[in-house]
Structures are given as structure tokens and as C-alpha cells.
Structure 1
Amino acid sequence: MDGLEARELAYFVAVAEELNFSRAAQRLGIAQPPLSRAVKQLERRLGVVLLERTSRKVALTAAGQVLLDEGRRALEGLSAAARRAQRAGSPAPRLTLVMKAVGDGGMLPDILAAYAGEPDATAVEVLFCGFGEQADLLRSGSADVGLLHGRPDLTGLDSEDLLVERQVAVMPVRHRLAGRAAVTLADLDGEVMPRWAGLPRGGADGPEVRDAGQLMQLIAMGRTVAVLPESARAYAGGDVVCVPVLDAPPTTMLLAWPEKSRSPALAAFVRAATGAAALRTPDVRPLGPGH
């Protein structure tokens, strides 16, 4: 059997997602008859039925569902490969770093300074994104390396832990707990917590937040309270306070990049970031009652 072609795979994925040949043809910008012929030809080549067709509906078979899942990944991989090749072949090579705003734990200046001393260093473009979008941008080829928090889905990525931080509750200055030296998670029961755009709700019922600037404004307005890494102190204005949370688990900032990457510039950035982190790793022992 000959290898699948990107065009016929894209045709099938469009039909499988729409479950309607007419809508899929419109989405692809082609006529319906050649689309139907292309899908039938694909089924003959594979020797399996991918779609159950009746006069009233189109449904995926088990084989069709597998090809849809794998086909999406394959097409995303092709697009990512094209983007990375275009950047690598640019007359002015650069490394694209993706992170959420103020999501560097205060480390980015140190990392960039260390990177500038690497022999394989190149220009660094910083791409800001919303919460939880970094991994997808890395997998799609839109970025070369990213700063992420917590334990996101790292499928298709390599990673290195950089910084482990204690957590603080960020609240308006007039909040009932604002004068405390420290709080516990139980003290925060009943507080309105933000919902991070693109991430599971996790029981939070507060406003949806897309970036750190928006979050700090909502906190200052008294609309929400958030538990954030201790480095958030650097970005807190005078209208909010940061109170240590004694029993909140430490949170990790990590560096991630596409697995099996062989870019010398990327390898140099990873070295610089881990070296800077080794000099900055803070004490993350549990806070005592007097802190």
C-alpha cells in the first residue's frame, strides 16, 4: 500500500469532523463530488470502511475514528515541521520563547543574560499567550521553547524543571485576611476563585481569566482571590497583597521544547536556563507559623 497523501488525509479529516460531505466541501473550498470520490478512493486503498453513509447521516466507523485521531496529529505535525523549517531557514534566525505574561518567575532577565554568553545563541522573540496555551503552541511549531507552570500535558515535548516556589494568596488590600501573616487553604474556603481560560474549571466559579494583568485587576476590584506562585509578588500593585499559604503545595515552573529537537540554539537556551535556575532556586521548605 502506498503512503497516505497529506491532501487526501486533510479531505478525510474535514469530512470526519463535519460528518457532512456538503459542509466539508464548503470548508475545503472544493466541489462535493471530487471530495466523495477522494474518500472512497482512500477507503479502497486502506481496505477498510471509514464512514457509514446513509441518506440521512454520516457516521465514523471504528477504523474511521482511529484515522481521524491519528490524521489530526499527522497534519499538525506536518504544519509544525513547515513552520520550524521556515524559521530555521530565515535570513535572520531567531528562537521563539512562549510564556504567559509575568510567567517567568522573575527569571527571564537572568536567562537571557546567560544565553547571550552562549556561542550558539541567536535572537530571542518572546511570544505571550494565555493560561495553558504554551504546550499547544510548542507542538504546533509556533514556538521553539516555553515556560510553563504546574504539570501540564507534555505529550510530544521534552522538559526540565527550573524553579520550585511556595504559593501565596493574592487578595485586595481590604480583604478580611489581608492583615494575616499567613493563611491556610481552609481559610480560603468559600472565596471566589478565578477560572483559567482554556483549562478545566476545577470547581472554580469566579470570572474567566486570560492573562496576569487582567487577573490582578479583578483581584484589586474584589472580584476574586487567587493562589499563585510567590514570584507574583513582583507584579502585585499597591491595591493587592500577597499572603503566604502555609499548606499549599509548592508549584513548579518548567522549561519545555519539542522532543528530539537538534537545534544548537535551543540546546544553548536550555543550558542557559538551567544554569540560571541553579543560581536562583529558592528555599521551598514549609513556612512556619511565625512567617
Structure 2
Amino acid sequence: MMIRKTAFALFGAATLALSPVAAIAQDDPDMEQLAMLGTMFEVEPLTPEQEARLPMARGVVEKILPEGAMMEVMGSAFNGVLGPILEMTNEDEGAALQGALGYAPEELAIGEDASAEILKMIDPAWRERNQAISTMTQTMMSDMMTRMEPIMRNVMSELYAIHFTQEELVDIDGFFSTPSGLSYARQSYAMAGDPRIMAAMFSEPDLLFGSFAQMPAMMEEALADVPQMRSYAELSETDRARLMKLTGLSAEALEEAMQAAAETSAIGM
């Protein structure tokens, strides 16, 4: 069902965007930067015919997207899919050590016992912190879904008015007015977050994700004709002086920053 897929896609997008959006919100209480994003998308006004279908479309969407449905998406997805992933991340001792020292255990050539001892000294509450962040994330996402639901209901009403004729809307409304239709609308959201989906996806990882192994070679081929980022050594004295003036960094700090950026870019490739 289109609206269910749209809602679940939005949930995934919102999850990925949560951190930068939160950062923008903290830095800019007026939300000006977020408001600017809305100007990127041009929306055609409804035609008179579509406007005439809007009341019927809104009635259909109210049945397909009943109050609280997006919270059910949130709950089922978090408990069935994201929950186990976050739980595994919350117990990742190697990531905790890297966050505390800037080095992964393998970089320091130390084992689990040494990692645990180090963390006990410098960050004994790392598990509690990870759990608190997970809980906070779920709370924020739940709030976002609650606020998003009426927006989704309005926009999907317009989309239904645009994409379906009056006769089609009558037929759709007829189905979703039946007990079976109402049950389908409600259960489809819960099914979207069922862990069975993730289990199926990872049951044959070679089949589904095998192409990822080819990504480095594909990336190299795709970027073969694209000039590489210039290194500090490749810059002229004039360029170095100008960069130091613009950034306020010393020559050593600038070289170190460019080297770190180059290494990060290489890892990403």
C-alpha cells in the first residue's frame, strides 16, 4: 500500500537524519536552516478537479492512516528491527574504546580484558550512556512520528486526490470501510516493522549484499577520471598562506587536518 510504504520510508529517512536535524535545531532555535530545506521542493497546486476530489481522498486516508498508526510503525520498527541493532551497538566495547581514546582495540593490539580494564578506568558508565542515548532516540522519534502523522494525513490526501479518479476513490473507500479493509490498514503498519523481514534479508547475505564486495573496485572505476583532492604538499606557497589566513590554522595544523581528511576520504572509498 502506497501510504504505508511512504510512511515507513519517511521513518527510515527520519532516523538517518535525526542527528544532523537535532544539531541544526540546537544551533538555530528559529529553525531557519530547516525551513530552507522546504524551498528545495517545488509543489504544483491542485487543479480544480483534484480539489473537488480532496474531501473524498481525505476520507479514504483517514481510514488508511488512522490516529496512532505511525506510532505503531515506530513501535514495531524499534522493537523488532532497530532495537536488536541498537542493543548490539550498545554493547560494542571496541566502539566504546575508540570513542574514549580515539583508537580501536586492534590499532592498539590489545585484547578484550585490556579493553575492559581501560574503559573501567576512563569511562566506566559507557553502557549506561549508550542505553540513555538509545532511550532518548526512541523518545525523540516517537515525538516526531506523533507530530508527523497529521502532516502525512494531509499530504497523502492530496496525493490520493491527484493520482486517483473519483470512481477509484469510491472503490478504495468501499474496501477500507469493511472490517477486512480496516484490519489490513492497521496490520500493514505493524507488518512493516516485523523482524521476520530483517531475518529474511540476512538469511542469504551473499545473494543480497554480494555486490557490496565489489564496491571498492566500482568506486575506483567511477572516480578514475575525477581529479583527486589536492594534498598539502601539492599546494603552492601562495595557496597555503591564503588557506592559513582563511582558516586561522597554522601550517602544521592545516597539513594535519588535510591529511586526516584525505585518510577519512580514502576509508570512505
Structure of higher CA gyration radius: 2
Which structure has the higher relative contact order (CA within 8 Å, separation 6+)?
Answer: 2
Higher strand share: 1
Q: TM-score, normalised by structure 1?
A: 0.19
Structure 1 or 2: larger helix share?
2
- Taking structure 2 as the reference length, what is the TM-score of the superposition? 0.20
